[in-house]
Structure formats: C-alpha cells, structure tokens
Amino acid sequence: MGDSSLSDLKPEYRVDGSCWKFVPVISEGFFNQRPGDIFRHHLILLQLQLAVIFTLAAIIHFFLGRFYLPRLTSEVLAGVILGPTVLGRFFPDISAVLFSEQSVKVLATLTRFGYLFFMFLIGVKMDVNLIKKSGKREWTIGTMVMLFPLLVTVMIGRHISIVVDKVDAQSAQYEVSFFTGVLMLTSFPVVAILLMQLKIINSELGHLTLSSALISDMVSLVMVNIGNYRVIMLLASLRVALKSLFLVAVLIVFILTVLQQMLYWIIRKTPEGKPVKDAYIFFVVIALLVVAIVGENVGLQYMYGPFILGLTVPTGHPLASTLIEKLDTIVSGWMLPLMSTYCGYRSNLWNLNRLPPYWIMFAVTFGFFLKVACGFIPAFCFKVPCKDATALALMLAAKGIVELGTFATNAEKQSTVTQEFTWAVIIVFIFAALVPILTRKLYDPSKTYAGYQKRTVLNSSINEGVRMLACAHRQDDALSAIKLLQLSNPSTGSPLSVYGLYLEELVGGASPLLLNHQLGQRSSSDGGRWQPIIDVFNYFKSQSSKPTQVHVYTAISPSSLMHEDVCWVAFDNLVALIILPFHRKWNRKGKLISDSKDLRDFNTKVMNKAPCSVSILIDRDRGRNSSIIDESSTYNICVVFLGGKDDREALSIARRMKGWPSVFLTVIRLKETEDMITGWEGMMDDECLRDIKHPSNENGNVLYKEEIVRHGADTSALIGSILDENFDLICVGRHSQCDSPLIEGLSAWTDLPELGTIGDLLVSAEISKPICILVVQQQVIEK
C-alpha cells in the first residue's frame, strides 16, 4: 500500500449490488497518474474549459471589436466554434474529452447561477423612482413599444403556426407564444448596456431611451406573468393557478416587508462613510438564493425572485454600491460571458436543414418592423427629431444577454436542442450586431454640441449679460468658484446668470440622473451630499448686491461620461463660460495633497467637447478666506497676453472684473518686437486691447504694460517675476499661439497640455505661493 500512488486508490461503494468508482474533483498531480486520466477530474476540466472559452472569445473580439461589435457577439461565436457546429463536427474526439456530458452540466449550472445573480444586480441598479419622474412622453413610448407589438405578433404568429406550419394547438399555445413574446419585449439591462457602449447614456436621447425602456420592462414583467398563469390555467387547472398565484403573492409581500426592512436595518447599522460588513453581504446573498429556490417552487421563474429582491435594495451608498462592488466584476466579467458562450455552444447550425418556420420568419420581420414603428411614431409625435426617433426605436428593439438567458432557461427544460433554440441564438446574434451599427449611423453624439453659434464671454451681449456654469465635485470647488463669479458681476447693466452643477459619480445604479433643484427634483438616495453645494450657491445669491440669477443642478453619472452632463447643461442653458476645478489640490501650507487622474481626464473631455468657452480654475489660495470676497479690500488681477483667441477671451473675462472699485487690473502684453503684430489675428488683438491701452476715467484702476521677449527663456523668466508680485488672480489663455517664438522651447517641457504652455508654468511644482490662476480656452467653432 505504501508503494502505490494516489491514482491507484480507487474507493468503491456498493449500492444494491452495483458498484461505481469515486473520482476526486481535484487532481492528484500530473505525474501521479496517466496523462489522459487528468481530464476525469471535474475541477481540472472546468478550469481548462474556462481558459479555452475566454481565450477564444478574446481573440475573436480583438478583430470584431474594430468594427464596434459588442463583446456578446464574440462570446456567442466562441460558443458556436466550441460546440457541435465546428469542434464537435470536425474534431469529435477532442470535443468528447473537453466537453463531456457531465462537464457540460457543470457549465450549465454555472450559467444558471450567473443569470440569477445578474438579474439581482439589475434590480439593485434600477432606480424605480425613475418611473415616477417619467412624463407622458416616456410612458407613451414605453407602453406602445411593448404592448402593441407583443399582442399583435403573438396572436398572428400563433395563427400562422397552426394554419401554415401545422403546429398542434398546445405547442402553439406555449412555444410559439414564448418565442415571439421574448422577441417583442424590451429589456432595460440590454438597453442600458447598449447606451453605455455607445456612450450616449447621459445625452437627452439616452435619458429618454432609458426611461422608456424601464417602463416597458416593468409593463412586460406584469404581462409575462399574466401569460404564464393563463397557460397554467389552460394546461393544469384554475385551482392550481390560483394556488400558485397566492403563494407568489405571499413571497412578494415577504420580500417587500420583512426582507426590505432587514436591508434598511443593515444600512442603519453601517456607520456613514464605512463599508458594509461582509457578514451582511453574505446574508443578502443567502437571501437571494433562498428567494430563487422558493420562487421557483411556488410557480415564479427562478430569476424573478432575486430581481424583485434587488429592486428593494435602496440605490446608492452604502449597501447597493457595496453589493455592486463585490459582485459585479465576477458576474459581468465571468458568469455572463459564460452564459452567452454556453448559448452558442448549445446551438447546432447543422440541424438547420430547412428554412425556419413561417411563424419565426413572421416574428423576426413583421414583428421587428412593427416594434420599430411603435417606437418611432409616438417619439416623432412628441417632436423628437426624425433621426433621433429612429435611433430610439432601434435601441428599444435591441436584443442581448437577457433574451439569450431567457431562451437558455427554457431550453434547459427540454432533453434535446430544438431548431427553434438555434434560430433564437442566431436572431439575437444578428440583432446584437446590427442595432449598434445602425444607431451609430443615425445618431452621432460628437455633433450634439457642435458650435455654430458663438457662445463666448467676448461675444456676449451687454444687455443680456453673461451666463456661467460652475462645476463642483466638492464644497471647496464651489467656494473657489463663487469668488470668481462675484468678481465677474460688478455691473447692473450687464447681469450675470450662474448655473451651479454638482457632479457625483454613479455608484450602485444603472440610471444616470440630472436634477434641477429649482424644480424641486429629488433623488431616491440621500441628498445630504449635494446640499452643502446648494447652500454655497444660495449664499452667493443672497450676498450678491447685483441682480443675479442662480440655478443649481446635480448630475449623477458614470465618471467616464460625466463630461456629457456638463456639456448638456451648458448647451441647454446657452452658457458662455464653463468653470472647471483643477485636478490638483493643495493644503494651507502649499503642499500637494490630491492629484486625481480621473478629474484631469474629465477636464480634458469637457475642453474637447464643450459648446462654449471653458476655463480651469486653479485655486492655491487655501490660506485666505474661501468665502465671498470683501468689497472693501483690494483685489489684484493680472492678464498675461501673448495674442490669439484664447488670450482675447481671458482678457474679456478680466475686463468684466475691472468694474469693481476695489479691483486693480494689470495687463501685460508680451511682444517679440516693438512693431505692431501684422495679420488678421494681430489686428483682432489690437482691437481687443484698444480700450485697455488708452487711459480714461473707466480705466483708472487698469495698468497696461508691454514686455519685449525674444524666446521661451525670456518668457519663463518674466512669468517668474510676475509670480513674485502680489497678484491674487492671473488670467491666461490656453493655447496662446503655440507656434509663437515667445514660447519657443517651452512646449517640449509642458506636463499639462490642457493648461497650455503659460498655464503649465504657473502651476509648476516649484511654486508654492497662494494664488489663483484661470486658464481660458475660447469656444471651438465647428468648421
């Protein structure tokens, strides 16, 4: 016994005279058994299957991703290649070893668990209050795009299957209704994933599509379950249907009362700013598994119980965000791709030896066009542009992982793979590939904020005043912005309209929000996080002695798409200048305490896409009072003027500030020679400086200087001397003629190109002086 290897240990168990051999789940080691026997162990085989599946899917997506096809298409193709269509057909021996019958059952179980957790997370991410906020437009589109195509297509498809395809009435009652019904539904998670993929979830079209999809999904949930109980009554009895309905109602009431109160108890037990304890997370996971088991046994499909439980989880911090942080990676990155690959694996294209039944062709062709029409017509009637209405209708007809999961769940109930399942996988694959491509052709988000109209401070009408948008991620950002805003509002003849925008990252939800607090809009999550920002802007309005309009918004969206909210608010309110906070923060001693790469990327995206002028406010004035400026104290402002449109915009902002008696403005113009700059740009620069250069009663607090610099080294030395003076605010343009000899050699040393060459010099790490710097970029006009 001591000389035998572990592989020789073959425990035997006898049951009723029969014997079978126990095979460990894990391997005893590669060298302790024959090479072929290693595939007997289920864990080893599962690991090998996962490695092959994800490697093949990644390779396929490497090529298909270049054509903007979603990852789901690559995963389905990987399953088709590994299934009976390719590997099982041409390499049956390898297929028999790699995907044995028992190992495929393990994969099926994993996909079932993955779909269960996916539906739970979808419920967690949904903000049901979005339905309450939806108006007549969203309700009309969401209801029509689901209800009318579902009823018409199911009834006509059932009739075609009986009369033309000679399907028996019982099969037509269930299978045909199920197949056509799934194709006619609108899935909120599929639409949300598509909008994220297209990067338009924050746009006006994205908000409309998402709200309509949520309403459609909720209505379809009710319709589907009504249909299920109707089938139970027809196939079983009324007594069985009523018993099942009663038990399902008891389960739902238990979820909405007992379990929801326990979730709120977990939130109350979690200290503010602290993560939820792992024990509470384990409890929620156990609860969703129990709900799934009980739900399936009382007549509710196994994924609906966890979905309802997910809806009861309060959105946002701390519970929803922790659940998504813990579960989303493994579910979205591992279990869901396994689901789509498994669907491709179970399909067999060789079984398609004839055209699909006429009822399937009817559902795909007529049903699709009817669904698109039912989305387009109400949207167009509500004055949505024609192209946008078509794109909206296409996105509401999109298919994806939810439809695959539904078809796979139904296929598990059958012993053989039917042609209908293979056709279903092909149809979902085609829709998943075509809808994003067609939507990109119809709706180009890059042109949403295209600037054909000049929206700059320089071109703002004196009578109408200037509209400025101040963005804030924290209270310090708002405090810094209101000092600049007060300086920009010295005159009653040119009023100032202020739009404050608090930006918060979307965590624990799938629905981005844009709240207008002047309209009393609220979120289902706690509003305490943005209330200090609102208070700052309201305080600015109350302390302003000049007529000032203040509007405050809150944008809750993914960090990668947060710039869309800024651009939309600026575009919708005809804003002339956006004020962005700098991505670096300093303490009172001038020491760097924060350097956010995400915030820097956000600023760059806004500057590249904004429909108006943009400025970045660098506030190193931490040692002074961060509230409204005192009108009795002096405030020294400097404009470094090299020439160009950005410098002219910076000078226009500073020119508004000189109306304060306590403000002293210094304009330093850098020139290569004493001669005037020739050319159109030079003429525009001189025109902009005309009222600054000549002394007048209005310019009593303005000092104009010209400095001769020969190259970049002279400019750098001059900037250093400017910093040595007692300026409170320095305004510069971003580009400042990058090809100018005045900054020759400096561009190569620029670390922050979004600030331009001069702006980068002013925020150098060697500088610790408390000062504010405003870097301005004039609106980029569409050519």
What pTM was computed for the model? 0.75
Q: Over pLDDT 70: what percentage of the chain?
A: 83
- Any idea which of 3-17, 66-80, 438-452 has the lowest mean pLDDT? 3-17
> Taking the mean position of all CA atoms in its chain, how far away is CA 443?
17
Residue 619, beta-bridge partner list: 772
Taking each continuous run of H as one helix and of E as one strand, the counts in the chain are 29, 15
- Do the domains at 449-517+529-628 and 629-782 have one common CATH topology? yes
Q: Please count the CA atoms within 13 angstroms of the CA of 269 that sit on its side-chain side.
A: 12
Q: Please count the CA atoms within 13 angstroms of the CA of 491 that sit on its side-chain side.
A: 13
pLDDT interval class at 8 (50, 70, 90): very low
- Structure confidence at residue 74 (pLDDT): 92
**Residue 566 clears pLDDT 70, i.e. is over it:** yes
- Structure confidence at residue 57 (pLDDT): 92
Closest CA to 389 of 374, 400, 399: 374
- Structure confidence at residue 391 (pLDDT): 92
Q: Are 221 and 267 in contact (CB under 8 A)?
A: no
Helix (H, G, I), strand (E, B) or coil at 630: coil
Closest CA to 600 of 770, 769, 481, 760: 760
The arithmetic mean of pLDDT across residues 731-751, rounded, is 73
**Residue 377 clears pLDDT 90, i.e. is over it:** yes
Which amino acid would we find at residue 296? E
Residues 64-97 pLDDT 10s: 888 888 899 999 999 999 989 999 889 888 888 8
> Taking the mean position of all CA atoms in its chain, how far away is CA 667?
43
pLDDT interval class at 375 (50, 70, 90): very high
Angle at the Cα of 391 from the Cα atoms of 386 and 393, rounded to 5 degrees: 95
Integer Cα distance of 119 and 187 in angstroms? 11
Residues 129-150 pLDDT 10s: 777 777 888 899 989 998 889 8
Closest CA to 187 of 252, 131, 119: 119
Provide the CATH topology of domain 449-517+529-628: Rossmann fold (3.40.50)
pLDDT interval class at 645 (50, 70, 90): confident
Q: What length is written for the chain?
A: 783
Residues 569-612 pLDDT 10s: 888 888 889 999 998 887 777 677 888 888 999 999 999 888 88
Return the structure tokens found at 336: 């869901």
Integer Cα distance of 99 and 95 in angstroms? 5
pLDDT interval class at 204 (50, 70, 90): confident
Q: Cis omega (within 30 of 0) on the bond before 318? A: yes
Integer Cα distance of 666 and 644 in angstroms? 18
Provide the CATH topology of domain 629-782: Rossmann fold (3.40.50)
- Any idea which of 461-465, 489-493, 619-623, 730-734 has the lowest mean pLDDT? 489-493
Helices marked H in 573-711 — which ranges? Answer: 597-609, 645-657, 679-693
Q: Are 162 and 172 in contact (CB under 8 A)?
A: yes
Integer Cα distance of 607 and 609 in angstroms? 6
Q: Please count the CA atoms within 13 angstroms of the CA of 597 that sit on its side-chain side.
A: 0
Task: Report CA torsion sign: 205, 519, 478, 474.
Answer: negative
> Taking the mean position of all CA atoms in its chain, how far away is CA 624?
38
Q: Are 711 and 741 in contact (CB under 8 A)?
A: yes
Residues 529-557 pLDDT 10s: 677 888 888 888 777 766 678 888 888 88
Return the structure tokens found at 176: 């045909």
pLDDT interval class at 506 (50, 70, 90): confident
- Structure confidence at residue 561 (pLDDT): 83
Rounded (10°) CA dihedral 165, 167, 169, 172: -80
- Structure confidence at residue 580 (pLDDT): 93
Residue 21, beta-bridge partner list: 12
- Any idea which of 236-240, 334-338, 378-382, 648-652 has the lowest mean pLDDT? 236-240
The arithmetic mean of pLDDT across residues 2-19, rounded, is 42
Question: Between the ranges 270-284, 289-303, 429-443, 629-643, where is the mean pLDDT highest?
Answer: 429-443
Integer Cα distance of 112 and 546 in angstroms? 64
Helices marked H in 463-596 — which ranges? Answer: 475-487, 531-543, 562-572
Q: What is the DSSP letter of 446?
A: G
The arithmetic mean of pLDDT across residues 422-429, rounded, is 90
pLDDT interval class at 14 (50, 70, 90): very low
**Residue 614 clears pLDDT 90, i.e. is over it:** yes
The arithmetic mean of pLDDT across residues 319-348, rounded, is 86
Rounded (10°) CA dihedral 356, 357, 361, 367: -140
* pLDDT, the chain, mean: 80
- Structure confidence at residue 390 (pLDDT): 92
- Structure confidence at residue 7 (pLDDT): 39
Q: Over pLDDT 90: what percentage of the chain?
A: 14
Rounded (10°) CA dihedral 285, 296, 303, 281: -10
pLDDT interval class at 511 (50, 70, 90): low
Integer Cα distance of 578 and 574 in angstroms? 11
Rounded (10°) CA dihedral 13, 18, 24, 27: 130
* Multiple choice CATH, 100-446, 1.20.1530.20, 2.160.10.10, 3.40.1190.20, 3.40.50.720: 1.20.1530.20
The arithmetic mean of pLDDT across residues 635-655, rounded, is 87
- Structure confidence at residue 490 (pLDDT): 59
3-state per-residue secondary structure call for 528-565: HHCHHHHHHHHHHHHHCCCCEEEEEEEEEECHHHHHHH
Closest CA to 626 of 728, 753, 476, 526: 476
What ranges do the domains of the chain cover? 100-446, 449-517+529-628, 629-782
pLDDT interval class at 226 (50, 70, 90): confident
pLDDT interval class at 6 (50, 70, 90): very low
> How many other C-beta atoms can be found within 10 angstroms of the C-beta atom of residue 170?
10
Question: Between the ranges 8-12, 155-159, 222-226, 236-240, where is the mean pLDDT highest?
Answer: 155-159
Integer Cα distance of 755 and 514 in angstroms? 28
Backbone angles phi, psi at 463, to 5 degrees: -70, -40
End-to-end CA distance of the chain: give it in Å, rounded. 86
**Residue 1 clears pLDDT 50, i.e. is over it:** no
- Structure confidence at residue 508 (pLDDT): 58
The arithmetic mean of pLDDT across residues 402-426, rounded, is 77
Q: Are 523 and 512 in contact (CB under 8 A)?
A: no
Residues 705-714 pLDDT 10s: 888 887 778 7
- Structure confidence at residue 80 (pLDDT): 93
- Structure confidence at residue 430 (pLDDT): 92
Task: Give Cβ neighbours of residue 165 (< 8 Å, ≥ 6 apart).
Answer: 357, 358, 359
- Structure confidence at residue 626 (pLDDT): 47
Integer Cα distance of 782 and 451 in angstroms? 5
> How many other C-beta atoms can be found within 10 angstroms of the C-beta atom of residue 704?
17
Integer Cα distance of 332 and 625 in angstroms? 48
Greater confidence, 639 or 36?
Answer: 639
Q: Are 83 and 346 in contact (CB under 8 A)?
A: yes
pLDDT interval class at 675 (50, 70, 90): low
**Residue 311 clears pLDDT 60, i.e. is over it:** yes
Residue 707, beta-bridge partner list: 670
Cα distances (Å, whole numbers) of residue 586 to 335, 582, 621, 625, 705: 44, 11, 9, 15, 31
**Residue 746 clears pLDDT 80, i.e. is over it:** no
